[in-house]
Amino acid sequence: MVASVALVVLVLSASGWLVMLGAIAVLWVPAVWALYRSLSDEDRKLELLDEQGEIDTYSPRALAELREWVESNPEDPLAEEGKERYNDCVEILQRVDETFYDRSDKEIDSLEKL
C-alpha cells in the first residue's frame, strides 16, 4: 500500500506537483472565494435594503475617486450624472444607520456634497 502510494506520488515530478497544486490554488480558491463573497455581499445588501430601504453605493475609495473625476472633468457630458451619483451616495450615508462599506462616523460627517 505504502509502495503504491509512493509510486503514485513519484509518477508526477516535483515541478508537476507544484504546477498542479498551484493551478488549483490560483483557480479553484479564487473561484470559490468569489462565489462565497459575492453571495454573502448580496445577502448583506438585501438585509440592509430590507431594514433601511437604501444602501451606500460607493466604497470610500471609489467615492473619493468619483469626486476627483467630477472635479477634474467638469465639462464632461457625464459630469452631471457623476455629481448626482456622488451626492446621492453622500445623502444616503447621512441618512442610514448602517453602511454597506466600512466607514467611520467621522468619515461620513466629513463628506460634503458637490
Binding to another protein by residue 62, rule CB under 8 A?
A: yes
Number of CB atoms found within 10 A of residue 70's CB: 21
Number of CB atoms found within 10 A of residue 58's CB: 20
Out of 47, 74, 78, 107, name the contact with another protein by CB under 8 A.
78
Part of the chain binding another protein (CB under 8 A), chosen from 51-59, 90-98, 104-112: 51-59
User: 63: Cβ–Cβ under 8 A, 6 or more apart, which residues?
Assistant: 86, 89, 90, 111
Minimal distance, residue 94 CB to another protein, in Å: 18
What distance in Å separates the CA atoms of residue 67 and residue 71, rounded to the nearest whole number? 6
Contacting positions for another protein (CB under 8 A): 8, 11-13, 15-20, 23-24, 26-28, 30-31, 34-35, 37-39, 41-42, 45, 49, 55, 57-59, 61-62, 65-66, 69, 73, 76-78, 81-82, 85
